[in-house]
Amino acid sequence: MDIINILPDSVANQIAAGEVVDRPAGAVKELLENAMDAGATQIDLVVKDAGRTLIQVIDNGSGMSDSDARLCFERHATSKIQRADDLFAIHTMGFRGEALASIAAIAQVELRTRLHDSELGTTVVIEGSHIVSQAPTVCPRGTSVAVKNLFYNVPARRNFLKRDSVEMSHIEEVFRRITLIHYDIAFTLSHNGRVIYDLKAGSMLQRIAGLYGAAYKERLYAVEEETDMVKIRGFVSRPEYSRRTRGEQYLFVNGRFIKHPALSAAVERAYNDLLPERTYPSYFIGLQVDPSRIDVNIHPTKTEVKFVDEHALFAILRSSVKRALGQFSLATELSFDTPEEFNIGPAPKDYVPRQPKISFNPDYNPFRASGAQTRIKLEEAEGNKTVECRNELVDSPEREDPTRPTAASNTCLQVQNRYIVTAISSGIAIIDQQRAHERVLYDRLIQRGSQALKQCQTLLFPVNCTFTAADAELMEELLPELKSYGFDISALSRTTFVVSATPASLKDSELQSFFEQLLSDYKGSTMQKYSSRSQGLCLSLARQMAVKSGTVLEQEEMHQLVADLFACPMAEMSPTGKRIITIVKPEEIMR
């Protein structure tokens, strides 16, 4: 009996949609790429409920005829290639012909399109791969694709979507990946009626400033290189503006965002010995390579590519970034324009300079006080004579009896500025100081909430922290919790926040990186495994405020940390599940 059947097109399209459109951001990527392939110079992206309710892309591209408007929803229907050899000369963003077919299989889609030389356009309505209607209509030149109720017929996939803030952050990340390299096209992004980005066509530097703020213009060095193999254009961040996360690292090949570990490593190796530990540079680099020398047909998302000359590209990219860092770092630090306030005129003709003199009090003694006296021998610089003088020492406390047991008699030892070694009843305990402090802070925050951070400081000069539009929305969500933990934060503009007070353990210079890492944890998986957002926030606060490895601790600080750690109910493991304490037993010491 035959058991092999040919799947219906609707089922095959739903299976393909699992690779092409795994979340709303996937649909956004495919629709924006189609609009760019149509030659659009203005593209508008409209999103509602983070893409659950509506994703609409409107462009002023070439448009489609009546038959093309219907045919574009068929699987493997494309205008980009015609034969297999065309795969080795890809100049467009899409070429598989799977995007619209996959989207139409899992959503309700309305397509409006009109050719530039036509008076009427066409409207096509399709639901779950089935054509509902097609009729002529009056519409602007170009194409508008509205994707409504994504995953309406795949409830399991819809249930796996994250909260709106997370899904919207993915959409904005896709939007940035596309708009950064296609800076000659104007883009807008609106979410729930609010315009998030309004980007005009211009240069790459202007596009970076439009996405990340005007302050980025001062943080970047230009990278330019042209060889027979590759043409490199882009920007890298100055070493002092390194970040704790890899979020702002964008690599493009022939206008396409890619993920390539080898080329990313080439950029980072150019920063050898220039970055603080555990920080990463930001970069926005575009490469132009002969399409026949690369293969983009590896994965449906087209973010993975293979190069014929990978090793040569690695060396060229690394050297070009290193040359930019060396060239511009010197040029920006040295200024040959003398400020006017220091431009002192010539001295008068009869002016005779006088030798400067230092006045001091020879009888001054900073140690003069009541208490014990001592004799100190000093040698005069000129006569080499020995002079005896009596100095009064500051009152010193009585020496403690070394035989009397005290809390400080158990000395702690710091090893590699990372581990605390102390004796316990069962042997020797080796404690990771950073993980130990994370556990102490986390337990305090969970048990006592904002009361655990009683020591809060008002900043003498408020600090402005600037974020991307996506991160700014997340900051607004976190403001109530942050204020309850001792932060005084208010919004100055759409993307800038003013910090007026912080917990006492935070430094002003660390606030920007602190919030960036906090938002990175919030967007990533760090907070997802906790039952509530407050728990995840407590974890992130503890991680950011804990004493770091490499910090030198005094004896009192080590004793206090060890005492606080052993008072915790789960002193053995950090909040992230990593071991804090290793105990070396007496028999191991004897061996």
Query: In the listed set 202, 232, 266, which residue is the last one of a domain according to the structure?
Result: 202
How many DSSP H helices and E strands does the chain contain?
A: 15, 24
Percent of residues, the chain, with pLDDT higher than 70: 78
The answer to whether residue 444 is domain-embedded is: yes
Confidence of residue 302 (pLDDT cuts 50, 70, 90): low
CATH assignment of the domain containing 325: 3.30.230.10
CATH assignment of the domain containing 170: 3.30.565.10
- Identify which has the larger pLDDT, 527 or 588: 588
Nearest to 127 by CA among 144, 152, 145: 152
Is the distance from CB of 310 to CB of 336 less than 8 angstroms? no
Task: Domain count for the chain, please give it.
Answer: 3
The answer to whether residue 403 is domain-embedded is: no
Percent of residues, the chain, with pLDDT higher than 90: 29
* DSSP summary character for residue 83: S
Are 20 and 142 in a shared domain? yes
- Integer Cα distance of 128 and 121 in angstroms: 23
Q: Is the predicted pLDDT of residue 201 greater than 80, yes or no?
A: yes
Nearest to 521 by CA among 499, 536, 507, 511: 536
Q: Is the predicted pLDDT of residue 57 greater than 70, yes or no?
A: yes
The answer to whether residue 356 is domain-embedded is: no
Residue 512: phi and psi, rounded to 5, are -60, -50
Query: pLDDT, tens digit, for every residue of 515-549?
Result: 887 887 777 654 454 556 677 778 877 887 888 88
What is the 3-state secondary structure of 454-497?
A: CCEEEEEEEEEEECCHHHHHHHHHHHHHHHHCCCEEEECCCCEE
The answer to whether residue 576 is domain-embedded is: yes
Are 132 and 32 in a shared domain? yes
Q: What is the pLDDT of residue 453?
A: 52
Query: pLDDT, tens digit, for every residue of 393-413?
Result: 333 344 443 322 234 446 889
Confidence of residue 45 (pLDDT cuts 50, 70, 90): very high
Q: What is the pLDDT of residue 337?
A: 40
Give CA separation, 194 vs 46, 48, 188, 198, in Å: 9, 10, 11, 11
Q: Is the predicted pLDDT of residue 433 greater than 80, yes or no?
A: yes
pTM across the whole model: 0.66
Are 38 and 177 in a shared domain? yes
Query: Which pair of tokens denotes residue 384?
Result: 């080499």
The answer to whether residue 180 is domain-embedded is: yes
- Integer Cα distance of 55 and 152 in angstroms: 14
Is the distance from CB of 78 to CB of 94 less than 8 angstroms? yes
Are 160 and 247 in a shared domain? no
Query: In the listed set 330, 349, 374, which residue is the last one of a domain according to the structure?
Result: 330
Confidence of residue 343 (pLDDT cuts 50, 70, 90): very low
Range of the domain at 54: 9-202
The answer to whether residue 394 is domain-embedded is: no
Are 453 and 559 in a shared domain? yes
Are 258 and 183 in a shared domain? no
Query: Which pair of tokens denotes residue 442?
Result: 């986390």
Q: What is the pLDDT of residue 223?
A: 93
Give CA separation, 532 vs 417, 538, 539, in Å: 34, 10, 11
Greatest mean pLDDT among 254-263, 349-358, 386-395: 254-263
Nearest to 17 by CA among 154, 166, 173: 154
Three-class DSSP category at 565: helix
Q: What is the mean pLDDT of residues 406-422?
A: 77
Instruction: Output the average pLDDT for the chain.
Output: 80
The answer to whether residue 459 is domain-embedded is: yes
Are 128 and 14 in a shared domain? yes
Confidence of residue 570 (pLDDT cuts 50, 70, 90): confident
Query: pLDDT, tens digit, for every residue of 109-165?
Result: 999 999 988 889 999 999 988 889 999 999 999 999 999 999 888 888 888 888 888
Query: Which pair of tokens denotes residue 503?
Result: 């917990």
* β 108-114/121-127 pair status: antiparallel
Q: What is the pLDDT of residue 364?
A: 67
Query: In the listed set 168, 202, 236, which residue is the last one of a domain according to the structure?
Result: 202
Confidence of residue 454 (pLDDT cuts 50, 70, 90): low
Are 173 and 230 in a shared domain? no
- Integer Cα distance of 58 and 71 in angstroms: 19
Confidence of residue 218 (pLDDT cuts 50, 70, 90): confident
Q: What is the mean pLDDT of residues 270-291?
A: 87
Are 220 and 285 in a shared domain? yes
- Integer Cα distance of 2 and 5 in angstroms: 8
The helix (H) or strand (E) run that includes residue 66 is helix 66-71
CATH assignment of the domain containing 541: 3.30.1370.100
Q: Up-side HSE of residue 232: CA atoms within 13 Å toward CB?
A: 25
Q: What is the mean pLDDT of residues 555-584?
A: 88
Q: Up-side HSE of residue 261: CA atoms within 13 Å toward CB?
A: 0
Are 460 and 324 in a shared domain? no
448-478: burial string, b at 16+ Cβ within 10 Å, e else? eeeebbeebeeeeeebebbbbbbbbbbbeeb
Q: What is the pLDDT of residue 6?
A: 78
The answer to whether residue 344 is domain-embedded is: no
Q: Rg for the chain (alpha carbons), in Å?
A: 33
Residue 240: phi and psi, rounded to 5, are -70, -10
Q: What is the pLDDT of residue 377?
A: 41
Q: Is the predicted pLDDT of residue 328 greater than 90, yes or no?
A: no
Are 305 and 446 in a shared domain? no
- Integer Cα distance of 142 and 411 in angstroms: 76
Q: What is the pLDDT of residue 403?
A: 28
Are 39 and 172 in a shared domain? yes
